[in-house]
Amino acid sequence: MLRRHLLLAVLPGVALAETRVREHPEWAAEFASHQAPGCAVVLEEASGTLHVFDRARAETAFSPASTFKVCNALIGLETGAVRDETETFPWDGVRRGMPAWNQDTNLAMGMRHSTVWFYQAMARRIGMARMQEWIDRIGYGNRQLGPAVDRFWLNGSLRISAVQQVEFLRRLATGELPLSDRTQQIVRRITLLEEAPGFRLHGKTGWFSGGQPLDLGWFVGWLERDGRRWVFALNMDLPSADTPGSIALHAPRREAAARGILARLGAL
């Protein structure tokens, strides 16, 4: 019971009496099929059930890596550091490994291509004081930024657990964050990955390289189908990005594992 309370303590928007925690040891097969240890959390809103695989890891905070772009976009819009999803920042001319990064970019393009330099430039416009203020208001992860306003989500200063990711994204999906409706609507738009009649999938990936033998991969988001919503967060260990071909080979495993888990719940 104590462990159940610890898990739900970070989900203040979900009534304790109405939320059930269900552990799924069978989800180990999804991670085994990708040869990648990890954890997954899915909040099924219709039943009030929090589905979890590897509860201890799900409560462990890791660097959000590029999944922080969701929060960064919210703060950038709310502070006016960026006008809207179409305002373009000029490319600095530095050629980077991802061809899509080597061009003028706006908020929506930066989210779609996970363009690091764009979100770093926006963070510098926001500034450390305002960034800290809004991360505190939102209650994102451990709220620790470190000394560099354009590096804290990449260098391990800021950390967030899979359970915390689910609560943050639930509040975004339902418009309950302490931000304007306009800001939240824009970010919901630019995180939309797939849409069909009665179906919407929102999400963001992340990849953290911390100098360890294994890197960390994230896929977080929410799925809406026929009036129901599932909010999810998954992270897994992946071979180092320094290994030639590692990202191209292993990056798809994050979303594939999440889709497999959502399918097991009948969401897909």
What tens digit of pLDDT does each residue of 198-246 get? Answer: 999 999 999 998 777 789 999 999 999 999 999 999 999 998 776 766 6
Domain total of the chain: 2
Statement to judge: residues 52 and 148 lie in one domain: no
Q: Is the pLDDT of residue 43 over 90?
A: yes
Statement to judge: residues 42 and 69 lie in one domain: no
Q: Radius of gyration (Cα) for the chain, nearest Å?
A: 18
Statement to judge: residues 83 and 168 lie in one domain: no
Structural domain includes residue 186: no
Structural domain includes residue 190: no
pLDDT band at 18 (very low <50, low <70, confident <90, very high): low
Statement to judge: residues 51 and 94 lie in one domain: no
Q: What angle do CA 173, 208, 91 make, to 5 degrees?
A: 80
Q: Per-residue pLDDT tens for 98-128?
A: 999 999 999 999 999 999 999 999 999 999 9
Structural domain includes residue 67: yes
Which range marks the domain in which residue 92 is found?
63-160
| CATH classification at residue 266 | 3.40.710.10
Statement to judge: residues 131 and 205 lie in one domain: no
Contact 249, 241 (CB under 8 A): no
Statement to judge: residues 7 and 95 lie in one domain: no
Q: How far apart are CA 176 and CA 181, in angstroms?
A: 9
Write down the pTM of the prediction: 0.92
Structural domain includes residue 69: yes
Q: How far apart are CA 120 and CA 153, in angstroms?
A: 10
Q: How far apart are CA 60 and CA 155, in angstroms?
A: 17
Which residues are known to be catalytic?
66
Statement to judge: residues 167 and 48 lie in one domain: yes
